[in-house]
Amino acid sequence: MASFVISGLKPLPSIYHRPAARVVSNNSSKPSFLLTNKNYPDLETKNRIEFSSGVSRNWGLNVSAPLRVASIEEDEGREERNHGVNGFGEEKEDAGFNPGAPPPFNLADIRAAIPKKCWVKDPWKSMSYVVRDVAVVFGLAAAAVYVNNWIVWPLYWAAQGTMFWALFVLGHDCGHGSFSNNPKLNSVVGHLLHSSILVPYHGWRISHRTHHQNHGHVENDESWHPLSEKIYNSLDNVTKMLRFMLPFPMLAYPFYLWNRSPGKTGSHFDPDSDLFVPSERKDVITSTICWTAMAAILVGLGFTMGPMQLLKLYGIPYVIFVMWLDLVTYLHHHGHEEKLPWYRGKEWSYLRGGLTTLDRDYGWINNIHHDIGTHVIHHLFPQIPHYHLIEATKAAKPVLKKYYREPERSGPLPFHLIGNLITSLKKDHFVSDNGDVVYYQTDPKLQEPSKL
């Protein structure tokens, strides 16, 4: 069953630009765990990991920072050659908009448009969101137990599952290093938050870094990337049904943690998995131990309060959380009214891959899950804290122009996204084995399951 989960391969070298300015508070009155660790710069680390082959690479410790920084001149030269532009924003007049074409701007142009304050990480503010969310989680559980009414329980499940998802997003910020400039604080908070909802923090953090380094790449992306036609045709009918027919794709995440998609190997719990390099072994073991400890706590609670009470308080909210995670992450990269490109080979770049990401509006949920729907700028610059994403996006939109796709406005609750999800799952099945700029194709048999 786990073979239907979506994932990717090892990261490619990719391009990334450091923000123009970094502001760090030197207020010595703060506790030491909230002060910046100057041994770890914002986007890069001096640590070098030696592979068994003798080849060395730079890996970011807590952020999804790509491995190679291309010069602005390289970006501009490539874009001018490929896109036929003579200067910033000057496209050929007779050419229609092509979402798969290199844009007439580069990362430096976007970065320059974003106010400097958007790059500042405030650990006190970040911790305030943790305190708020944890208080709500315990408050909801206490209220549900106190009332203990079957009319209230479904409301509790929906609310608590959403709060579990909010905890995940804060742990996600820790994994990127956007929570604070202190890697120890990020690691401690990330482990506490993610272990509480059965996510192996370092295992996930590293694979998610791969996703950001390779977003939009057919083979190398790590999250909800397309299957090639050859791999798709090798799947049995049951696996196809599980991948593309609701509700099964919305329950994929736990299986993805244990075993990746067809043609891929590796588990987020196995320190020897090809997801990781040897120097990350201790990190993965630490996170697996924390995950196991949480699982043991849940088993103990099951004996203490009874399995049914544990199911009501934790089990069903966990399933709701998984559905939120799969829904949101899928819709960040699928379900637009027009087909979006995926790339291979020389056509792929960090910028072009990131520009295929979609923003989504979740109505009242936006604030609850920390504006994770503001996703384009997050993908391009994952070190920006979530509480600056809206402002950063607003500032960047004049540069992005048509490459930014305005999200459909939501009502109080984002029911409109269900239609986007259903439509995408019916149409977005595989991409061609050939070509460096490809688009999803549809298997007509999946639209008529009786033909499978």
d(CA 243, CA 262): 11
CA angle 233–235–238, rounded 5-degree value? 130
Length of the chain, in residues: 452
Which helix (H) or strand (E) segment holds residue 446: the answer is: helix 444-447
Q: Which two tokens stand for residue 43?
A: 């986007």
Q: Which residues contact 179 (CB under 8 A, 6 or more apart)?
A: 121, 123, 126, 170, 173, 185, 186, 189, 190, 385
> Per-residue pLDDT tens for 15-64?
333 333 333 333 433 444 344 443 333 333 333 333 333 333 333 333 33
CA distance 141 to 412: 24
**pLDDT tens per residue, range 370-389:** 999 999 999 999 999 999 99
pTM for the complete prediction? Answer: 0.79
Residues 174-228 pLDDT 10s: 999 999 999 999 999 999 999 999 999 999 999 999 999 999 999 999 888 899 9
Q: What DSSP designation does 431 have?
A: B
Question: If DSSP codes are grouped into helix, strand and coil, which group holds residue 29?
Answer: coil
Question: Residue 92 to residues 16, 79, 239, 341: CA-CA distances in angstroms?
Answer: 27, 13, 45, 21
- pLDDT at site 406: 93
- The CA-based diameter of the chain, rounded to the nearest angstrom, is 71
- Return left, alpha or beta for 294; rule: phi > 0 is left, psi -120 to 50 is alpha, else beta: alpha
pLDDT confidence of residue 274: 87
> How far is the C-alpha of 108 from the C-alpha of 132, rounded, in Å?
35
Number of other CB atoms surrounding residue 127 within 10 Å:
16
User: Quick one: which of 368, 187, 213 has its CA closest to 283?
Assistant: 187
Residues 215-234 pLDDT 10s: 999 999 988 889 999 999 99
Distance of CA 206 to the CA centre of its chain: 11
What are 66-114's pLDDT values in tens digits? 443 333 334 444 443 343 333 333 333 335 788 899 999 999 999 999 9
